[in-house]
Structure 1
Amino acid sequence: MAKKKILITGATGFIGERLTQRLLQEGNEVRALCRSPKKARTLLPQETCIIEGDLDKAEALEKAMEGCEEVYHLAAYAKVWDKDPQAFYRVNVEGAERVARAALTCGVRRVVFTSTAGVLGPSPDGKAVDESQTPVVLSTEYERTKAEAERVMQRYVEQGLDVVIVNPTRVFGPGQLNESNAVTKLIALYRKGKFRFYPGSGHQSGNYVYVEDVVRGHLLAMEKGRKGERYILGGHNVSYRELFDKVAEVLGKRYAMIPLPLPLMMTVARFEQWKADTWGRPPLITPPFVRKYHYDWRVSIEKAQKELGYEITPLETAIAETLRWLEAAV
């Protein structure tokens, strides 16, 4: 396989770090655009070409893309809250536009843009949604700005840029225990007996996907995806109860879980929001996130399976590998 020059934005993130490792293992020359080269050097393999820069600098993006065949745009602002709501727009929308413009200018062969399955909205009547669903109302600033970023990318597709969009669901597995890896953080807490609550009844469904499957999905999207299309990179549709029942089964240790009424969660969330707005302290949870627990979030991965050859790891295997990593790392 011929060696390719590839740029990754968001290489120091949960998915980006694993994707960088995989691309290097395949013998590619990988460039990582990073705000903090010092942080990048502690996270990324030594052979990564680290380029200092940010999404707000068009010149830095063009310089980083010079000579690159492929670009993976994973960098995003995915926090629960920010005292400046425009931060989401600046990074997720304006950043995506600069990446697309630079890719068009530099003659990049293809861009894979990482969005989120959250832009598809909840599943009506518990039925799995597919890539065609486009809800009118979205819950959070992150989802709203990622949906707008997808529209930006589609405008550049109309100008001739080859873009494929991927929409990961709730990603978990070995890697940084940050906001993008929240499910693994909960598994780590459960392992120690410190996470003992279900949101609501615990019967609301979500889709949980192993990080290595998402990495492979990115590679398949670059190789086989159709220009201008989106592909859900999902895993297993299960409820909170089913997920943690499986964690308990694999762990060989079961803790009693307590349903936490959603009205109580909303009261806490509103208080957290008030504290954040008053004193600028990041909230533990916000009202938009509590509202999400009223719905099922089931997805179909049929399109990715048929068109990309996308496959998923059995849930039990993914949880077992995650627990083994936690045992060694935490």
Structure 2
Amino acid sequence: MQERVLVTGATGYVGGRLVPRLLEAGYKVRCLARDPSRLEGRGWEGVEVVRGDVLDPASLEPALHGVGPAYYLVHSMATGREYQERDRAGAAHFREAAARAGVRRVIYLGGLAHGDETLSPHLRSRLETGEILRAGPVPVTEFRASVILGSGSLSFEVIRYLTERLPVMVAPRWVGSLCQPIGIRDVLSYLVKALEHPESSGRVIEIGGADILTYREIMLAYARTRGLRRRIYTVPVLTPRLSSYWLGLVTPVPTGVARELIEGVRTDSVCSGASALDVFPEIRPVPCAEALRQAVASLEEQRVETSWTLAFSPASESADQAVFLRDEEGLIVEERRLRVDAPPEKVFGAVSSLGGDNGWYYADFLWKWRGFLDLLAGGVGMRRGRRHPTLLRPGDPVDFWRVEAWVPPSLLRLRAEMKLPGRAWLEFRVRPEGSESSWIIQRALFDSRGLAGLLYWYALYPIHRIIFSGLVMAIGRRAVRNGRTCQVGTRGV
């Protein structure tokens, strides 16, 4: 019988793809998650989920009990400022807890870079995390990966948006930096195969793809994959700050994260030796063109397992501050009810398809305008879209919302991640009415932050009234396809 494996960071991009591969290989998997609800609906049969946080040492003991190997796939960059200190603290807590629990080995995925003096804070933090983990008594296999290409990966999405949206690109000098892009499938192969290669324990292994390219060459390779004609010109005047604003406007990446990325790509990211091939001769990473082709195919076939946005939260709100509504005390609540001649499954299908390329069914231009204003204010805007056109999971982004609860066919609750003087939710409940009818209960909830929040809510109330009334009606029409609705009621609290 295979031993139990712990995966931290299972709600993130790599961790969310690693778990099913470990299950396929026959391992028993346990996941550590700050919010276990974000792993609901994954279809991971037999996976044990333990609530915990690497920043909370007491929560690590039950997660590590009885574990052989443990994957450390945690990174705090998306949580905002001072993430380096959180990374250091989390790694130290995990190192000590793993030693006390008798963990056999730790497998860590970090970033590939050389030269301490020129490293960005992001890359330096990735290397420091590995150093802290290796300082303990538990042997560590540290993989240092170059740019990871896969459907939904941060690097791939930046390349995709820049290339798709800009036929002619005036780019900063960092597009000439060298890297060794590696496909996500090859990264996962290394992570899983490490369990079968004990000689990888206690080593730092640099992993990259078959090609060494500049970022400019990668974007042109993407253009060829998509049959696009693109021109890229470099200029020396774009500073990292200006570049981050440019990247934030054109791609879904928030400006703060973009700045960290740009600081990082100014440093070459190329493997310095053949250690990966020596330890894992059975893994032959694919060329960049093939990794791009696989990523594009997954997008076109709607087979995106995970997305970088799953791990992103605005800097103003860390993940442990997420609010789960249990009562309405202190909240402004605007509720609408609509009876429709359609069964709950059809109604919930219409609700679950909101956002992304599907739009918001009513006054879509106003939603886009709100997203544009949020973008100007430094928020996420409407650019993130959604992972799948009809299916959702807790933790999924939907434009400037995030799925807080998704329970088919009865409940969808979205938490706002735009810039606001407070916190807001949009909730839909579907209740059966007989055998062929349903009630839609739509609630907009707002937790005001002081007087500014109250002024914001009531100033926008006339617009909200129009938008939300039209939205619930449009959902009903889409559900029944013939527009028959009745018994509409509105209640403000």
Q: What is the TM-score normalised by the length of structure 1?
A: 0.79
| Amino acid in structure 2 at the alignment position of 1:163 | V
Q: Of the candidates 204, 211, 228, which is equivalent to residue 254 of structure 1? A: 228
Q: Is 2:237 the partner of 1:263?
A: yes
2:108 aligns with 113
**Cα distance in 2 for residues equivalent to 1:63 and 1:282:** 38
Q: Deviations over 1:225-275 (max 9, x none)?
A: 443210012113111232223222222x22323324242244615879xxx
1:163 aligns with 140
**Cα distance in 1 for residues equivalent to 2:245 and 2:27:** 49
Q: Is 2:202 the partner of 1:228?
A: yes
The structure whose RCO (Cα within 8 Å, separation 6+) is larger is 1
**Cα distance in 1 for residues equivalent to 2:162 and 2:240:** 23
CA 1:45/1:190 → structure 2, altered by over 3 Å: closer, same or farther?
farther
1:74 aligns with 73
1:244 aligns with 219
Which is further off, 105-114 or 39-48?
A: 39-48
- Native 8 Å contact 2:223 2:230 kept in 1: no
**Cα distance in 1 for residues equivalent to 2:26 and 2:257:** 41
Question: How far is the alpha carbon of 1:61 from its aligned partner?
Answer: 1.1
CA 1:56/1:308 → structure 2, altered by over 3 Å: closer, same or farther?
same
**Cα distance in 1 for residues equivalent to 2:55 and 2:65:** 17
- Native 8 Å contact 2:122 2:264 kept in 1: no
- Native 8 Å contact 1:114 1:165 kept in 2: yes
2:124 aligns with 144
Larger fraction in helix = 1
- Native 8 Å contact 1:172 1:211 kept in 2: yes
Q: Is 2:24 the partner of 1:25?
A: yes
| Amino acid in structure 2 at the alignment position of 1:246 | A
| Amino acid in structure 1 at the alignment position of 2:110 | S
1:5 aligns with 4
State the aligned residue count.
292
CA 1:101/1:212 → structure 2, altered by over 3 Å: closer, same or farther?
same
**Cα distance in 2 for residues equivalent to 1:237 and 1:48:** 38
**Cα distance in 1 for residues equivalent to 2:50 and 2:20:** 16
Question: How far is the alpha carbon of 1:114 from its aligned partner?
Answer: 1.8
Q: Is 2:69 the partner of 1:97?
A: no
CA 1:246/1:256 → structure 2, altered by over 3 Å: closer, same or farther?
closer
- Native 8 Å contact 1:93 1:146 kept in 2: no
**In structure 2, the residue corresponding to 1:148 is in which secondary structure?**
helix
Instruction: Specify every segment of 5 or more residues in structure 2 that has no aligned partner in the other structure, as ranges.
Output: 247-253, 303-387, 389-493
**Cα distance in 1 for residues equivalent to 2:74 and 2:297:** 28
- Native 8 Å contact 1:6 1:68 kept in 2: yes
Question: How far is the alpha carbon of 1:293 from its aligned partner?
Answer: 5.1
CA 1:217/1:195 → structure 2, altered by over 3 Å: closer, same or farther?
farther
**Cα distance in 2 for residues equivalent to 1:182 and 1:99:** 26
Q: Of the candidates 280, 289, 311, which is equivalent to residue 308 of structure 1? A: 280
**Cα distance in 2 for residues equivalent to 1:146 and 1:308:** 23
CA 1:20/1:145 → structure 2, altered by over 3 Å: closer, same or farther?
same
**Cα distance in 2 for residues equivalent to 1:201 and 1:105:** 44
2:465 aligns with none
**Cα distance in 2 for residues equivalent to 1:271 and 1:23:** 39
**Cα distance in 2 for residues equivalent to 1:57 and 1:291:** 30
2:400 aligns with none
Question: How far is the alpha carbon of 1:321 from its aligned partner?
Answer: 1.2
CA 1:88/1:256 → structure 2, altered by over 3 Å: closer, same or farther?
same
**In structure 2, the residue corresponding to 1:232 is in which secondary structure?**
strand
| Amino acid in structure 2 at the alignment position of 1:71 | A
CA 1:26/1:166 → structure 2, altered by over 3 Å: closer, same or farther?
same
**Cα distance in 2 for residues equivalent to 1:290 and 1:187:** 13
| Amino acid in structure 2 at the alignment position of 1:233 | I
**Cα distance in 2 for residues equivalent to 1:110 and 1:267:** 40
CA 1:42/1:255 → structure 2, altered by over 3 Å: closer, same or farther?
farther
**Cα distance in 1 for residues equivalent to 2:5 and 2:183:** 24
Q: Deviations over 1:89-138 (max 9, x none)?
A: 22x21111111111111111111122211xx33xxxxxxxxxxxxx3325
Larger fraction in strand = 2
Question: How far is the alpha carbon of 1:148 from its aligned partner?
Answer: 2.1
- Native 8 Å contact 2:116 2:124 kept in 1: no
**In structure 1, the residue corresponding to 2:49 is in which secondary structure?**
strand
Question: How far is the alpha carbon of 1:207 from its aligned partner?
Answer: 1.7
- Native 8 Å contact 2:64 2:98 kept in 1: yes
Question: How far is the alpha carbon of 1:52 from its aligned partner?
Answer: 1.1
**In structure 2, the residue corresponding to 1:165 is in which secondary structure?**
strand
What percent of counterpart residues are identical?
Answer: 21
Larger radius of gyration: 2
Q: Is 2:189 the partner of 1:216?
A: yes
Question: How far is the alpha carbon of 1:9 from its aligned partner?
Answer: 0.4
Alignment map for 1:119-198 (pairs within 5 Å): 120-121=113-114, 135-156=115-136, 159=137, 161-174=138-151, 177=152, 181-189=153-161, 192-194=164-166, 196-197=168-169, 198=171
Root-mean-square deviation over aligned CA pairs: 2.7
**Cα distance in 2 for residues equivalent to 1:250 and 1:155:** 44
1:126 aligns with none
Instruction: Specify every segment of 5 or more residues in structure 1 that has no aligned partner in the other structure, as ranges.
Output: 122-134, 273-280
Q: Is 2:64 the partner of 1:65?
A: yes
